[in-house]
Amino acid sequence: MDPDVRAGRPWPPMSYWAKVTIVVALTLYVLGLAQSVLNIVILVVIAAVLAIGLDPAVRRLQRLGMRRGYAVVAIFAGFVLFVVLFAWVVVPPLVHQVTQLANDIPTYAQRLEARGDWVGRYFRDHDVARTVKDFVANLPQRIASSFGTILGVAGKVGSALFNVVTVAILMIYFMLALPSMRKGSAVLFSPERRDRAERVMDQSIAKIGGYVAGNLVTSLICGVLALLAFSVLGVPFAIPLAMWAGIADLIPAVGSYLGAAPAVAVGFFQSPLTGVLVLSYFLVYQQFENYFLVPKVMQNAVNLSPAAVIISTLVGGSLFGFAGALLALPGAATIKVILYDVWLRGRSEGDSLVQEHLQAELAAEAEAEAGAAARAANRRRMVARLRGAFRPGEGPRPPEGPGPSEEPAEEPAEGPSEEEDRGTRD
């Protein structure tokens, strides 16, 4: 006899296994559909993360009296203006330098061939100058003959531009509809679980917003430090190259290399020593950013430990490439919020270890909030000092409320007015 039957556990009927088979088949079918539209899902998630990250700026403009739609338009217009300004600063000198480089390559090859060291001997033995001159002269014919390659590159560029435009449009819609989306998501939960669901959503949104803000901070630091390094090393076009390094730093995993490539190339064209110094700077800065700056900033922004930041980025990038590296930290922060609020809080009663862990997490969050408040106060003081420096006639603003040793002046009690007194006597 079947041991399950002897133990009092009868074998499930065939209808049970039919239901299990249908559920497994439907699950596999849905996963197959998700795999086929994975690119669209990733674009939607990226747009949602960017919209949530920019929501604090939208709400700040709303507090200044601007409607939400106008605030979203203002932020998007500012981004477009920045892109246009960057293109206006970078593209004309870039085209000029590339044209000049193409014209001067044979001259550089001849100069290297005239040297008396091993470099000159190598160039003379292999006739590098003539080879380079023939290559530059035949470059238009080579480009015209590789029409298929040109179409392939144009297709990839067009696909990338389509993805960027799609993310931008979805981001605008998400930014406009974010409050209603939050309320609509809360309605899906039962009344007794709605408060917890809203708390989890608010904490997740705060973590994602902190991630976007932290990414902007690291990119700003990258651009400023690159500008200082380029200025010290005497690299031409220091401002546009530093702007590109800061913008490319927004891209996880490969952004630092994309930002470094133009600066290193310009440095080598300036002189071999300058190129080596620029390359060395980026190698050192990459280690500083990966193992100190990003873990420290993201620890305060998303309340993840430095080890968790590094491991999440590596795992996300290995699994899903660029999109995985971009979404790794907000995804890890959201999973942490769900685990702590949904799973651990339900087990906290009677479990001292869980209670201790939750208290430590609350203390870390309180410390991060206190640090954010202190940084905001420092920014307000800096803005006040800048206003005082540019407007010396106004003087510092008086402090709000009485000082620590001042007592508020007592206002005299107002008696009845003359007309009220006359009306009373009448």
Which residue range(s) make up the domain with 70? 13-96+138-188
Q: Is residue 39 part of a domain?
A: yes
CA 99 → CA 93, 94, 102, 263, 267, distances in Å? 10, 9, 5, 17, 17
pLDDT value for 406: 42
Q: Is residue 79 part of a domain?
A: yes
pLDDT digits (tens, 9 = 90+) for 185-214: 877 777 877 787 788 788 778 778 878 888
pLDDT value for 15: 79
Q: How does DSSP classify residue 305?
A: -
Angle at 11 between CA 8 and CA 17, to 5 degrees: 150
Helix (H) or strand (E) holding 269: helix 255-270
Q: Is residue 149 part of a domain?
A: yes
pLDDT value for 232: 92
Q: Is residue 54 part of a domain?
A: yes
pLDDT value for 379: 66
pLDDT value for 287: 86
Looking at residues 203-229, what average pLDDT do you find?
A: 85
> Would you state the structure tokens that stand for residue 382, as one six-digit string?
């800096």
On the question of pLDDT at 293 being above 80, the answer is: yes
Contact indicator for 241, 235 with CB cutoff of 8 Å: yes
Split at pLDDT 50, 70, 90, the class of 337 is confident
Q: Is residue 121 part of a domain?
A: no
pTM for this entry: 0.61
> Would you state the structure tokens that stand for residue 60, as one six-digit string?
């700040």
Q: Is residue 356 part of a domain?
A: no
**Which stretch of 80-89, 205-214, 325-334, 365-374 has the lowest confidence by average pLDDT?**
365-374
**C-beta atoms surrounding 323 within 10 Å:** 19
Q: Is residue 27 part of a domain?
A: yes
Looking at residues 27-37, what average pLDDT do you find?
A: 81
pLDDT digits (tens, 9 = 90+) for 242-287: 888 888 888 766 677 888 888 888 888 778 888 899 999 999 998 8
* Mean confidence (pLDDT) of the chain: 76
Quick one: 332 exposed, middle or buried, by C-beta within 10 A (0-12, 13-18, 19+)?
Answer: buried
Count of residues in the chain: 426
Q: Is residue 407 part of a domain?
A: no
Contact indicator for 161, 43 with CB cutoff of 8 Å: no
Looking up tokens 């690119």, which residue turns up?
39
pLDDT value for 146: 62
Among candidates 72, 249, 250, which has minimal Cα distance to 169?
Answer: 72
Q: Domain total for the chain?
A: 1
Looking at residues 289-313, what average pLDDT do you find?
A: 77
